[in-house]
Amino acid sequence: MMSQSSDVAAPRAALLAGTVLALCFTLTLLAAGMNLSFSVFLLPLEKALSADRGEVSSIISVALLLAGLMSPVTGTLMERLGPRILYPAGLALFASAFAIASQANSIYMLYASIGVMGGVSIACIGPVPAAVLINRWYHARVGTAMGVIYSASGVGTLIVSPAAAMLIAHFGWRATYQIYAVLLAALIPILFFMPWRKIRAGHPSYAQFHTAKAHSGADENPDVWTLKRAAGTAAFWGMAAAFFFAGAGVISVMIHSVSYMIESGIEPVYAATAFGFIGLLSPVGVIGFGALGDRLGPRRAVILSYFLSLSAIGGLFLIKYYPSPIAIPWLVISVGLSMGARGPTVSSMASRIFSGPHFGGIYGTISMGGGIGAAIGAWLGGLLQDIFHTSDALLIFSAIMILCSVSPFFLVRALRQQ
């Protein structure tokens, strides 16, 4: 179900389009930034709860997994209920998660709050619901707009993680989680003043297209994409596989790159600084690849991003076996520019192929593969190193996952034509 008939097209389309972009960017920044800042809480939580590092770090895997599994649900809810309900509910759940976490006396409370509640919250305010709104307002330049949205992850990491580190140093991890909760709760009343009916209606041209479809019985029209019909296509499964394998391959490198560099002889401070520069470059790469997809076609942009991801593995190989002044800059540039680059370009492909009243549910289901892959990659990347007693296992695993991820863009006809 799309926008109701009472939803009217906005007279100031450009202003509202900018408002939608800023709103989606801000919420995605909070979702990604507060989620990824968990790395700053890792040691304080480990010490306070007397838990193993593996137990504590697996909390983030639960959040990533739930965020991925909930993507089809929140994409559909955005279509059916609209942002007026979904966004405040997501923020309220996120604030509750941090409030509960601040009182945690056992790791199980953190699994329930940060892991389960946090994962669902991220799905509610993250990039999948944003893709629904962006598709309504930036249909002609959806790749560029989604590039801006996905860049929020890198910006969030740069802003939230250092702020969390300072807050923990001064007030402790419990007070920091309480500050998170208050900040998120304070944003909820602001959302009630947004012009939701106009935002939900979309750009005037999109609203006119939707109205025509609605009056022609879109749900019964065999030319209208539904989740069931989309799931019967190779393009659907090709994009889902691309997200899954990219999540596994890229996240495994991201999670373990700092420890890999330290074990290869790099000073810990230098390794952490290099990791920070990856987050700095990420917004440039995500927005750049989104714009590149609009100009050259999303398939060409995607393939170039995979080349950079493979190049990053080459940078890790150089750091370990052939140390040189260019090894770490090579790694930082390759990972920074390619991290998250598939998001906007694949979103653009999906909107071109499966555009219609059920796009939210379709794209959410496709994106689910990325969350599952990321959760598996974060865990399996470390497990393989323990099994084979060498960090080379990480490089081989990541390279295989990236090659599997790019293969649908050569094997699936509908994706080759994009």
Within a 10 A sphere around the Cβ of 349, how many other Cβ atoms? 29
- The C-alpha atoms of residue 245 and residue 401 are separated, in whole angstroms, by 5
Tokens of 52: 């193993």
Do 13-204 and 227-409 agree at the fold level? yes
Give the pLDDT confidence score for residue 236 in this predicted structure. Answer: 93
- The C-alpha atoms of residue 363 and residue 76 are separated, in whole angstroms, by 9
Tokens of 13: 């389309």
Within a 10 A sphere around the Cβ of 342, how many other Cβ atoms? 28
Note whether 99 and 192 are within 8 A (CB). no
pLDDT digits (tens, 9 = 90+) for 93-108: 999 999 999 998 888 9
Give the pLDDT confidence score for residue 268 in this predicted structure. Answer: 61
Pick the CATH number of 13-204 from 1.20.1250.20, 3.40.50.1000, 3.10.20.30, 1.10.10.60: 1.20.1250.20
* Amino acid letter, residue 408: P
> What DSSP assignment string belongs to 346-398?
HHHHHHHHH-STTHHHHHHHHHHHHHHHHHHHHHHHHHHHHHHTSTHHHHHHH
Domains of the chain, residue spans: 13-204, 227-409
- The C-alpha atoms of residue 30 and residue 126 are separated, in whole angstroms, by 9
pTM of the prediction? 0.70
Give the pLDDT confidence score for residue 221 in this predicted structure. Answer: 53
Note whether 167 and 74 are within 8 A (CB). no
- The C-alpha atoms of residue 30 and residue 33 are separated, in whole angstroms, by 5
Name the CATH architecture for the domain at 227-409. Up-down Bundle (1.20)
State which residues of the chain have pLDDT below 70: 1-11, 53-54, 139-140, 143, 205-223, 255-256, 258-259, 268-269, 271-273, 275-276
Give the pLDDT confidence score for residue 120 in this predicted structure. Answer: 93
Tokens of 247: 């999540």
